[in-house]
Amino acid sequence: MLKKTIAALALIASPAFADNAQVQNVKVAKNGSSFTFDVTILHTDIGWDDYADIWRVKDANGNVLGERILAHPHVNERPFTRSLSGVKIPEGTTQVFIEAHDTVNGWNPETKAVSLP
């Protein structure tokens, strides 16, 4: 009986302990007047109810410069990398910030600072 109670409590409490989608790595390349970002995200996607669904590029003032919608869960691919091309960066910008979002926790407050080439 105790094992069943503990298991039930773990299932009830699990959303409170759901992890944030985390930006693990970023590669950036300049292509003419725009940039391509290859972003690696780590999240324990469990299916449509809890998965990493967006990452975005922001400047130091919080302006969103580009956003990559992730159309499905990545249950069997952890971490995973997805690209975004054609991102226009304002002249004089030397650093941007990458943020990840998941369907349970929203935007992870931890961002990854990236220096531009």
Residue 53 belongs to a domain with what CATH number?
A: 2.60.40.730
Please indicate, yes or no, if residue 13 is contained in any of the structural domains: no
| Total domains in the fold of the chain | 1
pLDDT at 52 over 60: yes
Q: Per-residue pLDDT tens for 86-105? A: 999 999 999 999 999 999 99
Residue 5 pLDDT > 50: no
Provide the residue range defining the domain that includes 48. 19-115
Residue 3 within a domain: no
pTM, two decimal places = 0.82
In a domain, 10, yes or no: no
Three-state SS across the chain? Answer: CHHHHHHHHHHHHHHHHCCCCEEEEEEEEEECCEEEEEEEEECCCCECCECEEEEEEECCCCCEEEEEECCCCCCCCCCEEEEEEEECCCCCCCEEEEEEEECCCEECCCCEEEECC
